[in-house]
A and B are shown apart, each in its own frame.
Chain A
Amino acid sequence: MENFIQQLIFALRIGSIYAVIAIGYTMVYGIIKLINFAHGEIMVFGSYFSFLLASSGLNFIWVLLISMGLTAILGMVMEKVAYAPLRKAPRLSALITAIGMSFLLQNIMLLIFKSEPKRMPELISMTPFEVGGVLIDPITIITVGLSVLFMIILQIFIKNTKPGKAMRAVSQDTNVAALMGINVNRIITLTFAIGSALGALGGILYSLMISQIYPTMGIMPGLKAFVAAVLGGIGIMPGAMLGGFIIGAVETFTKAYLSSSWSDGIVFLILVIILLFKPAGLLGKNRKDKV
C-alpha cells in the first residue's frame, strides 16, 4: 500500500510535467492545426536557459520566470520566422517545417552546449520528509504545485480575459474571428508564447527530475506529452491535462509493477486502444465530415 502511494506520487509528478508540456502542443494545434514538433526542443531550450541562469546564482523563482520569458520570446521568433510564412500552405508542409525547426533547434543546442549531459544544479535543496511511511520529496510538491498553479492561471486567462476569448474564437473559426476584428496573427503569436513558456516550465521540472540536461533529452518527453495531448483529444485544453496525468500514471505503474523496459510500449498501446474506442480522444467529440 505504501509502495502504491509512493508510486502514485511519482505518477503525479511526471504526469504534471507531461500535462504542462502537452498544453503547449494542444494550444498550438487548437489554433492553427499544426503539430508543433519543435515543442520538445523548445522545452529543452527552456531548461538550458534555467541551467545557465541557475549557474549564475539566481534563486529559483527568478530562474523560472526569466527562462520562461526567454523561451516565450524564442517561441514567438520561431513562429514569426518559420510558421507565419506558411499560414496558407498545405498542412503537411507546415508539419515538415516544424520537424525542420526541431532539427534546427536541436543542432543549435548541440553546437552551443555539446552533446555530453550536464548536471542540473539543484535549484531547491530540501531534504525529503516522511508521511506515514511514504517518502515525499519537496521538489515533487513544487512540481505538482507549480504545474497545477499555471494550469489554473491559464484556464482563468482563457475563460475570463479578452485575449483568452479571442484565442478561443480563433480556434473555433479563424476567418470569422478575423471578421470580428480579432488580430489573428497576434493571437497566434500569443499562443506560441504561452505554449513555449509552459514548455519551458515543463522542461525545467523535467530536468530537475532526471537531474541532468542534454540537447536530445526533449525527444521522448516531447513525444509522450504529444501522445498525452492526443489521448485527451488534441486541441482541448482539459484533455491535455487529463492525458498528461494518465500517461504519467501508466508509465509509472508499469515501471513499478510490470517491467521498466515495456513501459513506453504500454503507454503507446493504451493510446492505440483508446483511439480505437474514442477516435477523437477522451474528451474529443467525433465530427462527421460534410460534403
Chain B
Amino acid sequence: MKKSNQLVGLGFVIAFIAFVGISGLLFILALAKEPSVTYAYAGIVSCMLLMLVFSLAKKTSKTLKSYLNNAIAILIIIVIVYPLIAHNKSPELFPFLGGVSFKGYTTGIFILICINIVMATSLNFSTGFLGQLVLGHAGFMAIGAYTAALIANILFAAGLPIFFVIVLSLLAGGVLAALSGIIIGIPALRLRGDYLAIMTLAFAEIVRIIINNLNFTGGAQGLTGYASAQIMGLSKETFSLYVFFTMVICVAFLVLLARSRHGRAIISLRENEIAAESVGINSTKYKVTGFAISALVGGIGGGLFAFHMGFLQPSMFGFMKSVDILVMVVLGGMGSMTGSIVAAGVFTWLPELLRDFDEYRMVAYAVLLIVMMIVRPQGLLGVKEMSLSKMVRKIRAKLLKQSDGNLMEGGDE
C-alpha cells in the first residue's frame, strides 16, 4: 500500500530530473574545457539533483530519505574536493582559500587521508564498538596490502580492465585479512583486556616477520614493480576518486552495520558482556564477527595503501603504524565514526602542515596528544555521531517553529 503510494509521482519526478540533469549538463559543457571531467561532473550533478528531488518528495520513507541526504552530501564533498586536487596546478582557482596553495602533493595527502579514514573507522569498529583494544591493526593492513599487490599483478597481467583489477584485488586483500582476523579472533576470545591487546600486537609482529622472511613478498627489501595505480597508468587524480569512493563504501558499510541489530549486539558486548550474554547475545559469535569485519575493512584499506604507494616494505607496518591508527581512533572518540573520520583527516594533514617546523613537529604532535588526553580524555567527539538527517530534521523543525512563532505573534497583534 505504502509502496504503491510512493510510486505515484514517479513519472513526474523522472521527467523533472531528466530536464534538470540535461540542462545542468549543457550548462557545464558550455563552461568547461576538459570534456571527460565535465561529463563526470554533469553526471554527478544530475545524480545529485535526482536524489535531492527524491529526498524532498513527501512520500519517500524516512530511511531512504536519510540515505539520499547522505549520498548527496558525499557527492557535494567530491564536487568541492575534486577540483582542489585535480586542478592543483592552478591555485588561483580558489582565491577565497587565501594562502593555501595546492601543490602536487595535495592529491597524495587526500589519498592518504582517505586511506587513514578507512583504517581508523575499521579499527574503531573493533576497539570502539566491540570494546576490544587492538594494538595490531597494521597487521591486517599488511595482509591486505601484500595480497592486493600480488593479486593485482596477476589480474593486470591477465589483461582485466583496471576497475576490476582494483576492485577484485581489494576484495581479495580484505577477505584474507578477515580470515586472519577470524584465526586470531577465536583464540583471542579466551583473553581479556590487555592480554587481548598484546595478542593482537604479537600477531601483527608475526605477520610482519613472516612477510620479511618470505620470498614472493620481496622480503626486507620490499615489494616493488607490482601493478600499482601508477604502473597501471592511472593518474593520481583518477585514482583518488577510486580511493574516495572505496572509503565511502567502507564507512557506509561500517556505519550501517553498527546501527543494525547485529551492531547493537556488538555495542552491548562493549557495555557489559555478562549482561549481554544473559539476554541471549552469543558473545563468541559477535566478537569473532566484529573482529573479522574490522579486519576486512582494514585489509581493504591496506590494499588501497598498496595501490597508492607503489612499493611495500614490512617495516611500513610495524608497531608504530598500529599506534598511529589507534591514536586517530582514540582522539576522535572511541565509538564515534564521525570522530574517527575527523581525526584521521586532521592527523594526516597536521603533520604535513607542520612540515616546515620539521624538527619540532613530532614534539608538538606528542605534546598535543598528551594535552588532549588530559583535557578531553573521551576524545574529540566522545561517542557522538554527526547525523545529516538528524540535522536536516532539526533545521526543519526550527524553521517550522519560527514560522509558527511568527504566526502566533501575528495573531497577537
Chain A interface residues toward B at CB < 8 A: 29, 35, 82, 85-86, 89-90, 92-97, 99-101, 103-104, 106-108, 110-111, 219, 223, 226-227, 230, 234, 259, 261-262, 264-265, 268-269, 271-272, 275-276, 279-281, 289, 291
Contact = CB atoms under 8 A, between A and B. Distances in A.
Contacts of A85: 374
A104 B370 contact: yes
Interface in B320-337: 320, 323, 326-327, 330-331, 334
B369 A261 contact: no
A101 B366 contact: yes
B199 A82 contact: no
B363 A108 contact: yes
Contact of B366 (A86, A100, A234): A100
Given A97-B373, A110-B362, A264-B209, A280 B195 contact: yes
B210 interface: yes
A261 B206 CA distance: 12
B369 A96 contact: yes
23 contacts: A86-B374, A89-B377, A92-B133, A93-B330, A93-B373, A97-B370, A99-B326, A99-B369, A100-B366, A100-B373, A104-B370, A108-B363, A111-B360, A223-B205, A230-B194, A234-B194, A259-B213, A265-B213, A269-B202, A271-B198, A279-B192, A279-B195, A291-B275
Contacts of B195: 230, 234, 275, 279-281
Q: Which 4 A-B pairs have the closest CB atoms?
A: A100-B369, A265-B209, A104-B366, A93-B377
Contacts of B2: none
A96 B373 contact: yes
B370 A101 contact: yes
A30 to B, nearest CB: 12
Nearest to B210: A265
A107 B364 CA distance: 9
Contacts of A259: 213
B390 interface: no
Contact of B191 (A111, A269, A279): A279
B359 A111 contact: yes
A234 B195 CA distance: 9
A231 B367 CA distance: 32
B158 to A, nearest CB: 33
Interface string B371-398: 0011001110000000000000000000
B203 interface: yes
B192 to A, nearest CB: 8
Contacts of A265: 205-206, 209-210, 213
B69 to A, nearest CB: 33
Nearest to A281: B195
Contact of A107 (B273, B366, B370): B366
Q: Which of B133, B213, B327, B369 has the most CB of A within 10 A?
A: B369
